[in-house]
């Protein structure tokens, strides 16, 4: 994917994230989380070509590697937890 394509992808996704963020007060945790997600997306798409997109593709296929599971646990995220919200 070219840099231009990656920037266009960011712009499309950022517009959606902005709509979501605007549903919350700027001082809320939800607004802060969406803002941080937008920054993370920008960072991921502006770095080495393909790394984030390859990771996302693997994620979407399911089945994390043991290394990925360990990394999530190191961040305090249980990869086996089920979100029932």
- Does 83 fall in a domain? no
Residue 85 pLDDT: 46
Q: Does residue 43 share a domain with residue 55?
A: no
Residue 14 pLDDT: 93
Residue 82 pLDDT: 54
Report the predicted TM-score, pTM, of the whole model to 2 decimal places: 0.58
Q: Does residue 58 share a domain with residue 40?
A: no
- Does 4 fall in a domain? yes
Q: Which residue has the higher pLDDT, 18 or 83?
A: 18
- Does 1 fall in a domain? yes
Q: How many domains does the chain have?
A: 2
The whole domain housing 60 covers: 50-78
How far is residue 43's CA from residue 14's CA, in Å, rounded to a whole number?
12
The burial of 26, by beta-carbon neighbours within 10 Å (0-12 exposed, 13-18 middle, 19 or more buried), is given as exposed
Q: Does residue 2 share a domain with residue 39?
A: yes
pLDDT digits (tens, 9 = 90+) for 41-85: 888 888 766 677 777 777 677 777 778 888 888 888 887 775 554
């Amino acid at each position: 994917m070219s840099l231009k394509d990656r920037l266009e992808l960011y712009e499309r996704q950022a517009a959606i994230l902005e709509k979501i963020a605007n549903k919350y007060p700027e001082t809320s945790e939800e607004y802060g989380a969406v803002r941080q997600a937008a920054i993370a997306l920008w960072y991921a798409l502006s770095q080495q070509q393909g790394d984030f997109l390859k990771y996302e593709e693997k994620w979407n296929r399911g089945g994390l590697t043991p290394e990925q599971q360990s990394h999530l646990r190191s961040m305090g995220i249980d990869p086996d937890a089920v979100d029932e919200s």
